[in-house]
Amino acid sequence: MACSTGATVPSANVERVFPDKPLAASVTGYVNFGKRALAAFFGLAIALAGGPALHAATYYVTVGGLGGEPEFETRFSNWAKEVDKLVKAAPESKVETFEGGAATRANLRASLEKIAKDSTPADALVLLLLGHGTFDGLDYKMNLPGPDITADELASLLGKVRARQLVVNTTSSSGGAISTLRRDGRVIVSATKSGTEKNATVFARYWIEALRDPAADTDKNETVSALEAFRYAEQKTAQFYETQKRLSTEHAVLEDTGKGEGVKAPSPENGYGLVASTFPLLRLGAAAKAAANPAKQKLLATREDLEQQIDRLKYQKAATPAEEYRKKLGVLLLDLARVQEELDK
C-alpha cells in the first residue's frame, strides 16, 4: 500500500475518507476502464486513506494455546515466542505474549481489559491466536489451559477497546468465530473459512513468516499491512498444499466489512480488503523519521503530489497508449526518486 502520507492524514476509515476526497471520478473510471482501472482506483483510495498517526501505539497480544500433544505444544509455544521477538522490535509496540501455562483465559481477559483502559482510537491492537479451536455449530472456543475462551467472550472484550483492531485467528475451526467477531472497522483474518475445517492449520507458520520476510511488503513502504500479510500467508498456505500434493484442509479468509463471511481474495470487486490495507501490522524500517522533520515538509508534500500523479497515471493505464504511459511513468518515477533522495539526505 502507499500510505506514505500517514503523517499528514489522520487515522481514517472508509466512511470518513470517501466524502472528503474527490473519488467520484474513480467510480466513473471503474465504469469506463474495467478491472484494471478499479484496481488503480483501489490503490488511489488507499493512498488517500493513509495509515494511523505515526506516534500511535500498536498493542500486540499473542496467545499460543493448548497443543494437546507435545508436538503441538512445542509448535504453538515456539510460534508465540517468535512473534513476541519480531513485534517487540517494531517501533511504538506494546507487547504481551502468552504461551504454555500462561496462555490462560484469565490472563487474556486481563490483558484485553487493560488495553481497553489504556488505548486510544489512534492506537492499534493486533490479537493473534495460535493453537487449536473448536466449533460445535453454534459456539467457537479456543483451547487454552484451564477454561477455554469463546468467540462471544472475545467479542465482548474487544468491543471495549477503542483502538483499531486486527484479530488473526489461526486456529482450527477459526472460521466458526467470524460471524461473532466481525464489526465495522475491525479486520478479521481466519485460517479456515468455516468452523467445520477442523484439522490443525499451517496458516500461522506463513503469517509469522510474513512478519520477517521483506517480500511480504509488496509496495516497499517499509510497513507490512494486514492485507499484505494475509495475501502472503494465504498464497504460501495454498502453495504448501499444492506442492505437497495434499488436499487442502484449510482455506484462509479475510473479513473487514463488518458484515461478511470473509473472502480468500480481497479486492475492490468484492469490497473486501480496504480496511486491512490501511492497517499497519508491522513497521519494518524508519519510514517515520522524515515525517518528524519540519524542514522537510515541503519535500514531503511534493512527494505526496508525485505519488498521487503516479496513481492517477496507473489508473489511466488501460486508456493510455503504451509508449506514452511508459514515458510519463518514467518521468514521474524519476522525479519521485530525486525527491526521495533529497528527503533521505
Partner 1 sequence: MTLRALALLPLLIASAWAQTLQQAESFRSAARYQEASTAFRVLVAANPKNPEYRVRWGRLFLERFNKEEAANLFQEALEIKKDYAPALLGLALVAADGFDTRAVELAEKALAADPKLTEAHELMARLALEDSNPKRAVEQADKALAISPKALDAMAVRASVDWLADKADSPWMDRILDINPKYGEAYADVGHFFVLNRRYEEGIKYYRKAIELDPRLWAARAQLGVNLMRLGEEVEAKRHLELCYENGHRDAATVNTLRLMDSYKNFLTYKTDNTIVKLHKKEAELLHPYVESELKRAIATFEKKYKVKLDRPVQVEVYPDHEDFAVRTMGMPGLGALGVTFGYVVAMDSPSGRKPGSFHWASTLWHELSHVFVLSATHHRVPRWFTEGLAVHEETAVSPEWGDRLDPQVISAIKNKKLLPVAELDRGFIRPSYPNQVVVSYFQAGRICDYIAEHWGFGKLLAMMDDFSRSEPTAQVIEKELGIKPEEFDKRFLAKLEAQTKGVIDGFDDWRKKLKQVSDLAKAGKHDEVIPLALAIRDVYPDYVEAGSAYEFLADAYAAKKNNTAAIEELERFARAGGRSPVVLKRLATMLEEAGRKRDASAALERLNYIAPNDDELHRRLGGLWLGEGNTAGAIREYTAVLAMKPMDLAASHFNLAKAYRQGKQITEAKDQLLLALEAAPGFRPAQKMLLELSP
* Contact positions vs partner 1 (CB under 8 A): 2, 4, 214-221, 231-232, 235, 243-245, 306-307, 310, 314, 326, 329-330, 333-334, 336-338, 340-341, 344
Contacts of 29 (CB under 8 A, 6+ apart): 37, 38, 40, 41, 315, 316
CB of 37 to partner 1, least distance (A): 15
Radius of gyration of the chain (CA): 21
CB of 311 to partner 1, least distance (A): 8
Task: Report H helices in the chain.
Answer: 14-20, 24-49, 70-88, 105-118, 151-159, 178-181, 203-212, 226-243, 274-277, 288-291, 297-315, 322-344
Taking the least distance from each CB to partner 1, the nearer of 70 and 294 is 70
* Cα–Cα dist 111/168, whole Å: 16
Q: Is 336 exposed, middle or buried (0-12, 13-18, 19+ CB in 10 A)?
A: middle
Dihedral sign (CA 225, 278, 168, 148): positive
Taking the least distance from each CB to partner 1, the nearer of 117 and 245 is 245
Tell me if residue 255 falls in helix, strand or coil.
Answer: strand
Say if residues 279 and 164 touch (Cβ distance below 8 Å): yes
CB of 113 to partner 1, least distance (A): 37
For the chain, the distance separating the N- and C-terminal CA atoms, rounded to the nearest angstrom, is: 24
Taking the least distance from each CB to partner 1, the nearer of 215 and 295 is 215
Taking the least distance from each CB to partner 1, the nearer of 15 and 344 is 344
Taking the least distance from each CB to partner 1, the nearer of 147 and 214 is 214
Taking the least distance from each CB to partner 1, the nearer of 139 and 219 is 219
* Cα–Cα dist 181/139, whole Å: 12
CB of 328 to partner 1, least distance (A): 11
Say if residues 129 and 173 touch (Cβ distance below 8 Å): no
CB of 223 to partner 1, least distance (A): 11
CB of 116 to partner 1, least distance (A): 35
Taking the least distance from each CB to partner 1, the nearer of 218 and 267 is 218
Taking the least distance from each CB to partner 1, the nearer of 131 and 266 is 266
Taking the least distance from each CB to partner 1, the nearer of 164 and 303 is 303
CB of 321 to partner 1, least distance (A): 16
Q: Is 94 exposed, middle or buried (0-12, 13-18, 19+ CB in 10 A)?
A: middle
CB of 303 to partner 1, least distance (A): 8
CB of 233 to partner 1, least distance (A): 10
Select from 250, 278, 249 the least CA-distant residue to 262. Answer: 250
Exposure on the CB side of residue 262, measured as CA atoms within 13 A:
33
Say if residues 63 and 128 touch (Cβ distance below 8 Å): yes
